[in-house]
Amino acid sequence: MISFARGAPALECLDAELLADCARAAIHADRSVLAYGPGGGYGPLREWLGNRHGVEPGRVVVTNGGLQGFVFYAEELLAERPGQVLVEAPTYDRPLKILARLGADVRPLAMDDEGLDPDALERELAAGETSFLYTIPTFQNPSGRTLSTERRRRVVELAAAHGVPVLEDDPYGLVRYEGEPPPSLHELEGGELVTYASSFSKTVAPGVRVGWFVAPADVAARLEARAVSNYISPPFLTQATVHELIHRGAFEPNLERVKGLLRQRRDAMLGALAQHLDGEVTWSEPEGGYFVWVDLPADASELLTRAEAAGVTFVKGADFFPGGAGGERAARLAFSYESPSEIDEGVSILASLLR
């Protein structure tokens, strides 16, 4: 099966030798990485991340991947400020499932090529009490779109005017193949309402399960308390492994190598779409990240059934809309996992099925 469904890095992106060496060095340097410790994460890594974001280390909570942090954030915010949760439509499917489990009133915000529509945000903010806004402004999962700088400013202004907290989820921002990065919402707003979340899943390895949240001090304290009550302390071994990798200067070179491998895949995806499907479907053209969003001339669910029978899989658009309402004729194609030649083959199979 050629998988355009897996939003995961190709295995060759994962440097096993480097990580094994860093893990060994981390244990030898500090035996306490094998012990219990602070729920908010490995001290030296919190310090490094705090420096990077210009905040006190106590405002950084290192979680077991970004998604675990999302659960803690959503639980805390919904308890503290009951109200609607605003999300981009489409948005990452796992948070939608988590929010449904928590019984949240999830409201979709329309998007276009420049990201979420601030006018839609303004309307929803005026329509009812909002618990928080969840947004993935850069190389969004699933659409690959990036919120323009102008819209970022408006989103921050609207959040400030309504006093509404924002969760900026940014695991893909550093996985940029070209172009200039826009300022984060967190930078624009100053971190009073915006909590910034990211992860080493896309830059080092998803299996280390190291994500981080930069939050206002009270939110950070509550996230840390959630971590303690759920798992006592996180796996310091993998957090210290990531810290060792950074400390020895291997983060940037590793990221460059990973981006080189993924850029080839992004190029293969865009090239294959242009070669096999030009004029028949439209697609987003991301400067980074893992995903291309494709608008189809046909029902995605029916296409998926036939595609899987022909050896190709993807995620249908409806899975990324609250309640499955939308995206019936759309698909998310992840180019991160398969090789460039498999990507070309997979797209040519989809093209033959669409004809």
> Least distance in Å: CB of 7 to ligand PLP?
5
Binding to ligand PLP by residue 7, rule CB under 6 A? yes
Position with the least CB separation from ligand PLP: 65
Which residue, 66 or 276, is less far from ligand PLP as judged by CB?
Answer: 66
Q: Which is nearer to ligand PLP, 72 or 344 (CB)?
A: 72
Give the residue with the Cβ less far from ligand PLP, 92 or 251.
Answer: 92
Whether residue 142 has a cis bond before it, omega within 30° of 0: yes
Contact flag: residue 65 with ligand PLP (CB under 6 A) = yes
CB atoms within 10 A of CB 176: 19
- Residue 197's alpha-carbon distances to 17, 329, 343, in angstroms, are 28, 31, 30
Site for ligand PLP in 148-187 (CB under 6 A): 169, 171
CB nearer to ligand PLP: pick between 67 and 262: 67
For ligand PLP, which is the closer residue by CB, 42 or 276? Answer: 42
Which residues are bridge partners to 88 per DSSP?
A: 109
- Binding span for ligand PLP by CB under 6 A among 44-52, 126-134, 198-206, 324-332: 198-206
Determine contact, residues 10/336, Cβ cutoff 8 Å.
yes
Counting residues that bind ligand PLP (by CB under 6 A) gives 13
- Span near ligand PLP by CB under 6 A; candidates 19-27, 40-48, 59-67, 318-326: 59-67
Closest to ligand PLP by CB, 136 or 277:
136
State the residue for tokens 């489990």: 101
From 130, 135, 199, 239, residue interacting with ligand PLP (rule: CB under 6 A)? 199
> With binding defined as CB under 6 A, does residue 201 bind ligand PLP?
yes
Tokens 């981390």 map to which residue? Answer: 26
Note the helical H segments in the chain: 16-29, 43-53, 65-80, 93-101, 118-127, 149-162, 185-189, 217-231, 236-247, 251-277, 300-309, 340-354
Give the shortest CB-74-to-ligand PLP separation in angstroms: 12
Provide the token pair at 252: 């940037």
Residue with tokens 């035996």: 31
Q: Are strands 312-313 and 115-116 parallel, antiparallel or unpaired?
A: unpaired
Q: Show the tokens assigned to 287.
A: 């400067």
Does 211 interact with ligand PLP (rule: CB under 6 A)? yes
- Taking the complex as a whole, the smallest distance from the CB of residue 233 to ligand PLP amounts, in Å, to 18
Decide if residue 92 touches ligand PLP (CB under 6 A): yes
Amino acid in the structure at residue 217: A
Is there a contact between 346 and 303 (Cβ–Cβ < 8 Å)? no
Which residues in this chain contact ligand PLP in the complex, by CB under 6 A? 7, 65-67, 92, 136, 141, 169, 171, 199, 201, 206, 211
